[in-house]
Homo-oligomer: A and B are copies of this chain.
Amino acid sequence: MRPRLVLFGDSITEMSFADGGWGAGLADRFARQADVVLRGLSGYNTRWALKVLPRAMEGAAAAGADPAAVTVFFGANDAALPDQKQAHQHVPLGEYQSNLRAICGYFKEHWPSTAIILITPPPIYEPARILDMYGDDDPSRQPERTNEAAGAYAQACMAVAKELDYPVIDIWTKMQEFPDWQTAALSDGLHFTPAGNKILFNEVVKRLASIGISLEKLPSDLPLFHDIDPKDPMKAFD
């Protein structure tokens, strides 16, 4: 049976099948090798994600077959500042870490053979957040998310990954290596442009390859067209 890749996260996962999205990119790349299962929950933090986890995963795995991998990509909402406009999304840093451990623990218990890949929250471009939240770019306003806070949650996510010995993608750091990431990679200071999606896509592909999930290593589901003998096509299906 085709292995499955489950994408679990917040809006950056939910929106990952929009044009140029990293989820669609994975489904396209592994079109003949694996199923990509979308479980993105816009606005959710780890507290809410943990609460709905069993319901969110209904139907995500095939009966009797653990998914090959699951990406766990939360923190952008947990890192919303506790004293600003999106305070109700905020989750304290320590709870964010214990929620991540609990989410991973749930997967380990229910899908013991599934590889868990953690993804840190992305960087934040504050002027764009102010514009998105308030409709103007008055610099005296406070953004509801800061890059510094997102960075602290990214570090916290990395620490959990290290502690559990799981692969992790530090998209907070990685994205900031790109020129003009603030507007080239982010559309509103938080969500991803197609270029930002491509950065994450490339990182996920690399991390999947490091655990044996790659174009080269996964078998094809059925005979590929170029392997079908034009002189005797039906032979391929025996």
Q: How far is the CB of A87 from chain B (nearest CB, A)?
A: 8
Whether A37 lies near B40 (C-beta < 8 A) is no
* Interface 9-mer from A106-114, A180-188, A229-237: A229-237
Interface string of A41-63 (1 = CB under 8 A from B): 11110011001100110110011
Residues of B within 8 A of A15 (CB): 28, 31
> Using Cβ atoms and an 8 Å threshold, which residues of chain B touch A48?
228, 233-234, 236-237
Question: Interface stretch among A122-130, A151-159, A208-216, A218-226?
Answer: A218-226
- Complex copy number for this chain: 2
The reply to whether the CB of A18 lies closer than 8 angstroms to some CB of chain B is yes
Q: Interface size of A by Cβ–Cβ distance < 8 Å?
A: 53
Interface pair B225/A42, CB less than 8 Å apart: yes
**Interface locus among A19-27, A92-100, A136-144, A171-179:** A19-27
Contact B40 A38 (CB under 8 A): no
Contact status B28-A59, CB under 8 Å: no
Inter-chain contact A31/B20, CB cutoff 8 Å: no
A24-B28, A48-B234, A55-B221 are known; give 18 further A-B pairs, CB within 8 A: A1-B58, A14-B31, A17-B24, A17-B28, A18-B24, A19-B19, A19-B24, A23-B27, A35-B37, A43-B226, A43-B228, A44-B225, A48-B233, A52-B237, A56-B221, A59-B62, A63-B63, A88-B228
The 7 closest A-B pairs by CB, nearest first: A43-B225, A24-B24, A17-B28, A63-B63, A88-B230, A17-B27, A1-B59
27 A-B pairs whose Cβ atoms sit less than 8 Å apart in the complex: A1-B58, A1-B59, A2-B58, A4-B59, A11-B225, A14-B31, A17-B17, A17-B24, A17-B25, A17-B31, A18-B24, A19-B20, A24-B27, A27-B27, A27-B38, A32-B41, A32-B42, A35-B37, A43-B228, A44-B225, A48-B228, A55-B222, A59-B65, A62-B63, A87-B230, A88-B228, A88-B233
